[in-house]
Amino acid sequence: MDALVRLLQLLVFLLTLPLHLMALLGFWEPLCKTYFPYLMAVLTVKNNRVMESKKRELFSQINGLAGTSGKVALLELGCGTGANFCFYPAGCKITCLDPNPHFEKFLTKSMAENRHLEYERFVVAFGEDMRQLADGSMDAVVSTLVLCSVESPKRVLQEVRRVLRPGGVFFFWEHMAEPRGSWAFLWQQVLEPTWKHIGDGCHLTRETWRDLENAQFSELQVEQHPPPIKWLPVGPHIMGKAVK
């Protein structure tokens, strides 16, 4: 099976050779950082239509996290275009973090369309190093389709626990690998080296639930859903929350 995967990876590599050459020469990443926000702006509209009821159910729990001020300090990791803003309850003070500065203009538009929220700031940084955010400063942290593309999910989750106050909640919606040994998993292995370039670092074969289980949260709730966009090679999605 490993030999078959390597052979098919080589065939896909040859078919997408210009892309890989651009990546090798350093031309692809700047181009990807520029076009990726536009791609996400299109895909997140479809995702939101399919997942609307589940997202509303998940994020409605944010209401109970308000402090004495009546506000919820909320950090969104890999905030992208701000597609989740419409699901957040009124009174949230939103801090957005993303390593791609090209998302800021999309965030500005999303905040203008969601006046029930307070926009704190946009932090250009990687999730593995959120030193600009103080320990215990957040009531809630949200991550949707982010842990697939970070360099180290383990370090990101450590940072999430650091910035959350005691009793704070991490809400997540992530995709994960298909079951090992399945044909779907084989194709994820075949496509992953090329997909990482197309999807701005997205890994198809990450077993994200293991990272969540090992992150030492005091409570973890996870439920699994089929992928909302069937024609993409991403696997099942997991949605839930983890309490510090």
Q: Specify the pLDDT at position 88.
A: 95
Which pTM value belongs to this model? 0.92
Q: Specify the pLDDT at position 165.
A: 95
Average pLDDT value for the chain = 91
What is the chain's percent helix, strand, coil content, to nearest 5?
45, 20, 35
Q: Specify the pLDDT at position 107.
A: 87
Residue 93 lies in a domain: yes
**CATH classification at residue 37:** 3.40.50.150
Main-chain dihedrals φ then ψ at residue 6, nearest 5 degrees: -65, -40
Domain extent, residue 148, equals 29-243
Whether 62 and 92 have beta carbons less than 8 Å apart is answered as yes
Residue 154 lies in a domain: yes
Could you tell me how many residues make up the chain?
244
Residue 83 lies in a domain: yes
Give the span between the Cα atoms of 136 and 212, in whole angstroms. Answer: 19
Q: pLDDT digit string (tens) for 71-80?
A: 999 999 998 8
Q: pLDDT digit string (tens) for 165-178?
A: 999 999 999 999 99
Q: pLDDT digit string (tens) for 20-72?
A: 999 999 998 888 888 888 878 777 877 788 788 889 999 999 988 987 778 99
Residue 176 lies in a domain: yes
Q: What is the DSSP letter of 99?
A: S
Q: What is the DSSP letter of 146?
A: -
Number of domains present in the structure of the chain: 1
- The predicted model gives 85-114 an average pLDDT of 91
Q: Specify the pLDDT at position 32.
A: 84
16 falls in which pLDDT band (50, 70, 90)? Answer: very high
